[in-house]
Structures are given as C-alpha cells and as structure tokens.
Amino acid sequence: MQALEWALNPLAWCQEELKIKPRLFQRDLLNTTSRRIVLCCHRQSGKTMGAAMLACHNLIFRTGHVVVASPTFKQSQRMARTIKKFFNKCSHRPVLTTENAFFWESETGSSLSIVSLDQPDNIRGLSGVRLAIVDEASAVDVESYAALIPSLASVQDSQQIIISTPRGRIGLFWEIWNNMSYEKYFLPVTKNPEISASWLEEERKTMGDLLFSQEYLCDFTSAQSCVFDLDKFYNAIDPSISAVMI
C-alpha cells in the first residue's frame, strides 16, 4: 500500500524514502507529465540531483528504459552514482539483476543506460526509452542529440529532460530553449534564496560580470570566445533600414 502511494506521489517518496526536501523546481520536475522538458538553471542549483531523483523513481516504480546522457561518460557516471546512492537508501526497491558501468536492469523490468554523447555513434541502436535525461546539454552537439531522440519514439508516454546552464546563443541548448514544444523551467540565482548574497558577490568579482551573468543569472550571453558581443551587435541594427547600397 505504501509502495503504491510512493509510486503515485514522487514528492512523498522523496521526503520519506530519500529524506530529501526537493527544491521547488525539483518538485515540478518530479510531477510533470510533459513529454519535453528543458531546465535552464544556475550553477549548483540542484539540476543533476533533481534529475537523479526522477530517474530513481522511474527505476523503482515503473517499467521501461531510462537513459542518462552527458557530453562525457564521466559526467554521466556522476549522475549514475547519485541515482545509485538514492536507490540504495530506499527500503522499497527491486533487485538489480544486471549492474555494470554502462547498464543496470531490475527484476521488475526497469533498466538504465549510462551513455556519453561525445559521438552520435555511441547511442545509435538504443530503443524503447521511456525517460531520457541529457545533462550539461550546452556542451552536447546537435547530431548526438538527434541520434538519441528516435529511441523515445516507440514509447507512448516517453519523456526527454534537457538540462543545462546556458553557454551562449549557439548550439543545441540555445535551439531547444527557443523551441516552443518544450516545457521550460528557468531558475536564475536571484530566485534561489538558499545561495548567500555575500558568496555570490565574491563569485561575481572572481569570474567577472559576463561569466557571472551566464553561470548564475542564466543569461544566454555571447560566448566568451566571441570576437563581437552579440548584444551590442543586435542593438546596433536599425530595423528601419532594409538595405544599404554600396
């Protein structure tokens, strides 16, 4: 009976089994039924931990395949370690019949793949995915993401969760952030009372305004390596001039 309640109420499961009080956006993530979700949140806001809670809940209470993916295998392993830590805390959990660095399978029919997205070929061949989590998506290229997404096609209520802090107005994460078909979560540090103002001020001084606004205010600023500041470039355009004769 308790397991049924936890299956239907991931928030209660999180508080009672993991003994964690999820942050507001983590609660929303645990409860969402949207098929496409993008999280744009500041550094150290709890993105990876929130996604790990969701993956763990899926592994315990649902059947089907979960994929955790990041630009590098090391990053995916980091999330997998958090999932495992949560999994081991749970009094109600299935037995894992397979468990290695790349793949886990449970006696109840759930499974997990841990993959890197540094090359599209790494994920071709995956299928029947119910939940795909792409962490650090601003460092993932469009081709690798495009290779992963068809694996969700055959599962009716499959979900993809794309997570990052911004890194410029370029690439996969910027494209997805501007795609209307995704449910969007936006968390700049100004909306997070848990981070102290004095520590943030130190960070701003250390990293400079441009990087600070990217990492903590979640601004899609021009990339650090850009020769031109795109904001200045766009502000200089006069829309009343349609063409210039030379």
Ligand X SMILES: Nc1ncnc2c1ncn2[C@@H]1O[C@H](COP(=O)(O)OP(=O)(O)OP(=O)(O)O)[C@@H](O)[C@H]1O
> Interface with ligand X by CB under 6 A: which residues?
20-23, 26, 41, 43-49, 165
- By beta-carbon proximity to ligand X, the closer residue of 20 and 207 is 20
Q: How far is the CB of 34 from ligand X (least distance, A)?
A: 20
Indicate which of Mg ion, ligand X, none lies near residue 165 (CB less than 5 to 8 Å, by partner kind).
Answer: ligand X
- By beta-carbon proximity to ligand X, the closer residue of 23 and 36 is 23
Name the CA radius of gyration of the chain, rounded.
20
Q: How far is the CB of 28 from ligand X (least distance, A)?
A: 13
Tell me the C-alpha to C-alpha distance, in Å, between residue 16 and each of 5, 88, 90, 163.
11, 14, 9, 26
Tokens of 57: 């809940």
Rounded to 5°, angle at Cα 125 from 179 and 106: 95
Q: How far is the CB of 139 from ligand X (least distance, A)?
A: 11
CB atoms within 10 A of CB 94: 16
Q: 65 and 31 in contact (C-beta within 8 Å)?
A: no
The alpha carbon of 233 is separated from its chain's Cα centroid by a whole number of angstroms, namely 31
Indicate which of Mg ion, ligand X, none lies near residue 7 (CB less than 5 to 8 Å, by partner kind).
Answer: none
E-strand spans in the chain?
36-41, 64-70, 96-99, 103-106, 110-116, 129-134, 159-164, 183-187
* Piece of the chain touching Mg ion by CB under 5 A; list 12-20, 44-52, 140-148, 220-228: 44-52
If one asks whether residue 48 binds Mg ion (CB under 5 A), the answer comes out as yes
- By beta-carbon proximity to ligand X, the closer residue of 144 and 165 is 165
Residues 6+ apart with CB under 8 A from 233: none
Indicate which of Mg ion, ligand X, none lies near residue 166 (CB less than 5 to 8 Å, by partner kind).
Answer: none
> Tokens 């990087």 belong to which residue?
211
Q: How far is the CB of 157 from Mg ion (least distance, A)?
A: 26
If one asks whether residue 58 binds Mg ion (CB under 5 A), the answer comes out as no
- By beta-carbon proximity to ligand X, the closer residue of 71 and 106 is 71
Q: 144 and 123 in contact (C-beta within 8 Å)?
A: yes
Q: How far is the CB of 79 from ligand X (least distance, A)?
A: 9
- By beta-carbon proximity to ligand X, the closer residue of 49 and 68 is 49
Number of H helices, E strands in the chain: 10, 8
- By beta-carbon proximity to Mg ion, the closer residue of 71 and 168 is 71
Q: Which residues would be at the binding site for Mg ion (CB under 5 A)?
A: 47-48
